[in-house]
Amino acid sequence: MDLCLGSCGGHVRALEQKLRALNLYSGPIDGIFGGGVESGVKRFQSTYSLPCDGIVGSETWSALFPNVPQPESELLQRPLAERCLALTGAFETSAGFPDCFTGLAGDFDGEGISFGVLQWNIGQDTLQPLFEQMLRDHPQTMTQIFHDNLAHFTSALSLPHDEQLAWWSSLQSPDKAEIFEPWKGYLLTLGRTSSYQQIQMDHSAQIYSDALALAQEFDLHSERSVALMFDILVQNGGIDSAMKMLIKADFVALPHGDIDLTGEIVKMQAIANRVAESSRPEYVEDVRTRKLVIANGTGSVHGRDYELSSQYGIALVSAA
């Protein structure tokens, strides 16, 4: 597993500690691969005549940690449904696995808060069912996290819709860029629990099922195509019948002859472009970039580099 800008977790924390010991990094030991860590890695690579790309691949890892095997991502062993969720979650939250499950945003968009890997929110009533399930199925965990404030949290869920929005808004800075403590800490702790992560996966299961069906409808069979459809369903709400007709017409004009899964790439590119062009004008290029990264298997979204096969285990192989 390569470590690069945007990576997070225990292995990044070990990297930060190593770079600090070498006087190459002076930032926090927080397990987040940011610009300071990248700068330290590049300085190390330059000193040891390694490719100076700021990425901790096998060669750089071996130089930093002799005789220590390069870490493998736990995500790569998970089912495809969870890998697709983690990829779209990274796009949605700008955080890698598993920190994407703690993605938290304030009321910048009038939705109260957005929380979790797929940014469920209060305004559209998509977040409340997850909170309610957690309260119902894991009351002891919720008590351990929220303590005396659990009653306030529970009561807020029973308020009328507009009052729920107002309650969450009252817990934020005037510009809605920051959620006040202790509520921010409560939510981040909740997002890190295995039980709440499982609830998030449960609530995304239907999206994955729909993604499989949508891929089959376009005669696409690779893991990457399922990931593309999953992301379209989350970000764009799906593909309507008129767009399906346009996409299938595009397919007719595509070169034929590829009989293996590599032939799916041009189809996925066609879908990516059609979906992007149907978006609101201000989002067209953002949607196009995100979808083409999946179609091509590599690229950059919002300054974060993606390589789907090595980072997410999503490859141009049969999803079956």
DSSP per-residue string spanning 253-265:
TS-----SGGGHH
State yes or no: pLDDT of 303 exceeds 90.
no
Categorize the per-residue pLDDT at 260 as very low, low, confident or very high, splitting at 50, 70 and 90. Answer: low
**Who wins on pLDDT, 76 or 162?**
162
Q: Are 231 and 271 in contact (CB under 8 A)?
A: no
Kindly report which listed range (33-42, 81-90, 251-260) carries the lowest average pLDDT score: 251-260
Q: Are 57 and 45 in contact (CB under 8 A)?
A: no
Q: What is the percent of the chain with per-residue pLDDT over 90, rounded to a whole number?
A: 83
State yes or no: pLDDT of 168 exceeds 60.
yes
**Who wins on pLDDT, 72 or 127?**
127
Residue with tokens 């499982």: 198
Using CA atoms, how far apart are residues 76 and 90, in angstroms rounded to an integer?
15
The pLDDT, as a whole number, for residue 320 is: 85
Mean pLDDT of 24-29: 94
Cis peptide leading into 160, omega within 30 of 0?
no
SS3 222: strand
Q: Are 222 and 275 in contact (CB under 8 A)?
A: no
- Chain-wide mean pLDDT for the chain? 94
Q: Are 301 and 290 in contact (CB under 8 A)?
A: yes
Q: Are 299 and 289 in contact (CB under 8 A)?
A: yes
Can you give the pTM of this predicted structure?
0.85
Amino acid (1-letter code) at residue 74: E
**DSSP 8-class letter at 95:** -
The pLDDT, as a whole number, for residue 183 is: 97
The pLDDT, as a whole number, for residue 97 is: 85
